[in-house]
């Protein structure tokens, strides 16, 4: 089984440097990126396409779906990690927003710490475990595309690799060292008796 994790194309929020709402669409550049990654994935035998329900991922997945002639299944568990409402729609350069983000980063490793209504590590960990378990139970022997988001993709892959050993401290230490590009492809393969392996990280050679 191979899982092709695809980060969505550049969104309007990415271009403007905003903490995004769920309904922010792709930019013109993002649509072009989606077409390029779709053409790239056409060379692979794909059985299933899943997508986050956020608009930027949905649009990316639709382009891939039309190119591969495979329907999209929308999967809410693939959405991006939830930021607190206080920073949604705000600039990443806003002083108050930076202060809140610094607090989130500083306390994320505590597991259950909350500023307001954001998703904690413990909540994210439960969500990505559901994703990994579903893929193992439903798609053995298949090739699956999951169109998702930067942090969400990292969380799923780290869960695949570290399993129950993935702690908030470990996640916090390594998440910022794994860079991701819009429409970057990361591939994980499951082999019986060996488990999960990462065969490709953030491949963006189609851009």
Q: How do residues 46-104 score in pLDDT, each as one tens digit?
A: 999 999 999 999 999 999 999 999 999 999 999 999 999 999 999 999 999 999 999 99
User: What is the average per-residue pLDDT within 137-155?
Assistant: 97
Closest to 74 in 3D by CA, of 86, 60, 88, 85:
60
63 within 8 A of 34, measured Cβ to Cβ: yes
Tokens coding 149: 């988001």
Entry pTM: 0.97
**Pairing state between β 2-7 and 185-191:** antiparallel
**Per-residue model confidence (pLDDT) at position 70:** 98
Q: What angle do CA 187, 172, 56 make, to 5 degrees?
A: 50
Domains and CATH numbers, the chain: 2-203 (3.40.50.1240)
* Cβ neighbours, 10 Å, residue 12: 18
Q: Which two tokens stand for residue 77?
A: 């568990």
């Amino acid at each position: 089984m191979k899982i092709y994790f695809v980060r969505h194309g550049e969104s309007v929020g990415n271009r403007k440097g905003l903490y995004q709402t769920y309904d922010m669409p792709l930019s013109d550049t993002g649509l072009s990126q989606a077409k390029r990654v779709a053409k790239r994935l056409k060379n692979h035998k794909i059985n299933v396409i899943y997508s986050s329900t956020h608009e930027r991922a949905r649009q990316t997945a639709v382009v891939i779906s039309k190119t591969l002639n495979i329907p999209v299944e929308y999967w809410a568990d693939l959405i991006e990690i939830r930021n607190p409402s206080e920073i949604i729609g705000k600039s990443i350069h806003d002083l108050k927003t930076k202060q809140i983000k610094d607090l989130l980063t500083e306390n994320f490793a505590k597991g259950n710490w909350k500023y307001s209504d954001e998703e904690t590590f413990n909540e994210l960990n439960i969500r990505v475990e559901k994703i990994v378990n579903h893929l193992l139970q439903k798609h053995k022997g298949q090739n699956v595309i999951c169109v998702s988001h930067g942090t969400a993709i990292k969380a799923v892959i780290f869960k695949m690799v570290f399993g129950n050993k993935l702690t908030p401290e470990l996640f916090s230490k390594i998440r910022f060292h794994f860079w991701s590009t819009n429409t970057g492809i990361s591939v994980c393969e499951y082999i019986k008796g060996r488990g999960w392996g990462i065969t490709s990280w953030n491949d963006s050679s189609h851009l």
